[in-house]
Amino acid sequence: MGWGQDGMASLLISHCRLYDAAGVDADGWVLVDGGIISQIGAGGAAPDADRVLDAGGRLLAPGFIDVHIQGAGGADVLDATPAALATIAKTCARCGVTSYLATTVYKPDQDNRHLQVVSECIGRDLGGARLLGTHLEGPFISSQKRGMIQPDCLTAPSPSALDAILNKTGDGLAMMTIAPELPGGLDLASALVDRGVIASLGHTSATYEETLRGFDAGINHVTHLFNAMPSLHHRAPGPLGAIFERPDVTVQVIADGVHLHPSVVRLVFAAVGASRFVTITDGMQALGLPDGHYTYNDILYEARDGAARYKDGTLIGTALGLNRILARLVQFAGCSPATAIRTVTENPAAILGIGERAGSIKVGYDADLVLLEEDLAVHATLVGGRVVYQNNGD
């Protein structure tokens, strides 16, 4: 993928603790060769390498994967430039993220250059996290549950509309959020699955029965659970009732304590289990920046205390980095850091079909890694064995 010459040199990460290892001894080491993990060990004499990164006893975890992020560092996917995607990639790296899906919208009858730019930048060295593909929120979603998504980003499901999108995204479309209750929605879900695209339920007004039909048509993932969908009612369970009882369906959760109350985060974690839970940011361009006013899709919003809202109070995303949201998940759900980390590593890697090379620390896997403090603050982030971010205490 062209991650730079220094990424091809051998690297020894010494004095680390694997995030899921028993005990507290910091005598572990990982050898990286050619951007791939080649050896893992503990104690004794570590092998020689061209470079050594002393972890200083910190936790070493797989790099995080954010499947739902629209912008960061002042940039947005809609900016439609490689520079914007690079800014997002570099800001992601500051938060421990080594791979991301560029999440955005499609505007029918417009040029949608941003989708072409994303496709052209997949696999490029952006100086930070790897760009894996596009996650489209819509345009086949409910107008009643569109949230921050503007009306000009919606259209009815049809083969021709899907073809127009694929002409822009090519093989870069990795995930699409759809509402299965729309006429033609089930056929569209099946068409996406046939193309290897993840069909994700979201921005939907579906009933319980319509949701189940969507799952039977191939939908197996859920976009920001609870948000932009009907609430759970004891006589009309809606999509949530169907989601909770389907063990083959994974769910995205914005576990920041704002999009969902901490008690609901705890409830979801207990109900679906750690293996179905995928922590996301739903990050906006304000992610990684101070509180202030910013613009998304030409509409002003305010980022304050980690939450992004339109002037009317509509919650539209987060400005918190993924590592900070993970720390809140640990607090709210009462789970271990290792368990929380799996929700941004093993789980999304499996969903994206890259679990045989990413999401774990194993020999033969990509050396996409993050060194973490005890509170999950990021000390260093590596992509393909290259340090793309390091906190030097500045």
> According to the annotation, is 203 in a ligand binding site?
yes
pLDDT band at residue 5 under the 50/70/90 scheme: very low
pLDDT for 6 beyond 50: no
pLDDT for 23 beyond 90: no
> According to the annotation, is 221 in a ligand binding site?
no
pLDDT for 3 beyond 60: no
Which of 63-77, 293-307, 359-373 is predicted least confidently?
A: 293-307
pLDDT in tens, 89-99: 999 999 999 99
pLDDT for 41 beyond 60: yes
Distance of CA 6 to the CA centre of its chain: 27
* CA–CA gap between residue 175 and residue 137 (Å, rounded): 9
pLDDT of residue 313: 86
Mean pLDDT confidence for 229-244: 97
Percent of the chain scoring above 90 in pLDDT: 86
pLDDT of residue 2: 33
Q: Would you call 219 helix, strand, or coil by DSSP?
A: coil
Helices (H) and strands (E) in the chain, counts: 10, 22
pLDDT band at residue 1 under the 50/70/90 scheme: very low
- Give the residue among 23, 17, 13, 65 at the shortest CA–CA distance from 323: 65
What's the token pair of residue 343? 């929700």
- In the residue annotation, 256 being an active-site residue is answered as no
Mean pLDDT confidence for 216-223: 98
Q: What is the edge-to-edge ordering of all strands in the sheet holding 315-318?
A: 292-296, 299-304, 307-310, 315-318
Q: Rounded to 10 degrees, what is the CA torsion of 220, 274, 206, 100? A: -60
Cα–Cα separations (whole angstroms), residue 169 to 131, 153, 173, 196, 216: 13, 16, 6, 13, 26
Whether 64-352 and 5-61+360-390 are alike in CATH topology: the answer is no
Which DSSP string do the residues of 176-210 spell out, in sequence order? Answer: EEE-TTSTTHHHHHHHHHHTTPEEEE-S----HHH
Q: At the topology level of CATH, where does 5-61+360-390 sit?
A: Urease, subunit C; domain 1 (2.30.40)
pLDDT in tens, 262-287: 999 999 999 999 999 999 999 999 99
> According to the annotation, is 114 in a ligand binding site?
no
Mean pLDDT confidence for 97-122: 97
User: Could you report how far apart the first and last alpha carbons of the chain are, in Å?
Assistant: 31
pLDDT band at residue 26 under the 50/70/90 scheme: confident
pLDDT of residue 139: 98
Task: Kindly list the domain boundaries of the chain, sorted by start residue.
Answer: 5-61+360-390, 64-352
The letter for the amino acid at 359 is: G
Q: Residues with Cβ < 8 Å from 9, sequence gap 6 or more? A: 50, 51, 385
Percent of the chain scoring above 70 in pLDDT: 97
pLDDT band at residue 7 under the 50/70/90 scheme: very low
Q: Residues with Cβ < 8 Å from 25, sequence gap 6 or more? A: 17, 42, 43
Task: Considering the candidates 33, 282, 366, 368, report the single residue annotated as catalytic.
Answer: 282
Q: What's the CATH superfamily of 64-352? A: Metal-dependent hydrolases (3.20.20.140)
CB atoms within 10 A of CB 85: 28
